[in-house]
Amino acid sequence: MELPQDLRTAIDRELTSISSKELTAIAQGLSKRYREGLSAEGEGYLNSPMDITAYAAFRMPATYAAVAGAINQLGDFGDGWLPKSMLDVGAGPGTAMWAATAAWPQLEKITLLERDKNMMSLGKLLAREADSAAIREADWISVDLNGDWKTDEKDLVIASYSLGELSTEALNSVLMKLWSITKGVLIIIEPGTPIGFNRLKAAREILIREGAKTIAPCPHNDNCPLPEDDWCHFSQRVARSRLHRQVKGGELSYEDEKFTFIAMSRDASNIGEGRILRHPIIRKGHIQLKLCSTQGLKSVVVTKSHKEVYKQAKGLEWGSGTKDMNFINM
């Protein structure tokens, strides 16, 4: 997965003001702060405009891929559901807006909520280069989500890698507020770690009590059937730029971004019966699948003798939905 060309060009343009040596040092500092947490009271993860440009260059491709991966799992939901308005919550440089616009080019009205002024400035600079008029004309609103804020209803609401940064006291009320303004679908994405997953598992339970229906990744609205020591997450392969390889000190031309997410709606029609939870294991003559299904967790072995189903199973990947496939009854 790669960023769209207009976004890559916009980021490259911002990077020209920083030498690659400076960028490497900044990105290494950032990477350390995200890995080890903040050391001083009042310290932020991103402390200068250069930190923010480095964030966009190094993290945006991965968070963009995660948002795109989550949207992709909505599959046939809503049978041609086409959102016109969108809210990007804790927008950063506008990553979710860019990914949503690629999936739904007919989006007309985009609003972004963000607290960090430098982040907003960068987001606006990047947006100026967009092919999409909705991105160029988006409304950026300076807001601290932990405090008082309001906005009107939106078809699509996305909070990508942002709810985890809110204070624990504010989290529940922000969640309720996001749900109250969601006309169509609310998507929340977090890092694919046990902490990220547990945060979303709790959020999902709260939203279900409010009447929300899960449309992805779970093919049901029941309690999560995974055991305590497991966590539901997915992976997106992201191409690394030359600069990225230099900063990470590795030769790999890609990295795998692990993410976890929930997509909730008021209507859950047409969502399918299962979700593949691990890379399918392909052996000679059979395929092993682990899935979450409308009947709970299932481990299925599909052999060549199941002709039609085997053919379908060959096309599945970690994260695929299994709509209209017979093997949940196997």
Ligand X SMILES: C[S@@+](CC[C@H](N)C(=O)[O-])C[C@H]1O[C@@H](n2cnc3c(N)ncnc32)[C@H](O)[C@@H]1O
Q: Interacting stretch for ligand X, rule CB under 6 A, among 21-29, 161-169, 216-224, 256-264? A: 161-169
Does 63 bind ligand X (CB under 6 A)? Our answer is yes
Tokens 């308005």 — which residue?
85
Residue 250 CB neighbours (<10 A): 11
Q: Which is nearer to ligand X, 164 or 225 (CB)?
A: 164
Tell me the Cα Rg of the chain.
20
- 38, burial (CB in 10 Å: exposed 0-12, middle 13-18, buried 19+): exposed
Tokens 């491709």 — which residue?
61
Q: What angle do CA 107, 112, 117 make, to 5 degrees?
A: 150
Using CB under 6 A, pick the residue from 71, 110, 119, 302 that binds ligand X.
119
Q: What string marks each residue from 74 to 113 as x (binds ligand X by CB under 6 A) or -?
A: ----------------xxx--xx-----------------
Using CB under 6 A, pick the residue from 43, 153, 165, 267 that binds ligand X.
165
CA-based nearest residue to 326, from 305, 303, 308: 308
The gap between the terminal CA atoms of the chain, to the nearest Å, is: 34
Kindly state the smallest distance separating residue 24's Cβ from ligand X, in Å: 20
The tokens of 271 are what?
């969502």
Using CB under 6 A, pick the residue from 53, 111, 132, 162 that binds ligand X.
162
Q: Which is nearer to ligand X, 141 or 301 (CB)?
A: 141
Q: How far is CA 173 from the centre of its chain?
A: 21
- Helices and strands in the chain, H and E counts: 10, 12
The tokens of 13 are what?
């343009």
Using CB under 6 A, pick the residue from 14, 51, 114, 257 that binds ligand X.
114
Does 161 bind ligand X (CB under 6 A)? Our answer is yes
Size of the site for ligand X (CB under 6 A): 20
* Helix axis angle, 117-128 to 49-72, nearest 10°: 70
Does 146 bind ligand X (CB under 6 A)? Our answer is yes
The tokens of 236 are what?
């997106």
| Binding to ligand X, residues 234-293 (CB under 6 A) | none
Q: Which is nearer to ligand X, 166 or 291 (CB)?
A: 166
Kindly state the smallest distance separating residue 66's Cβ from ligand X, in Å: 7
**Which residues of the shown chain bind ligand X in the complex (CB under 6 A)?**
60, 63, 90-92, 95-96, 114-116, 119, 143-146, 160-162, 165-166
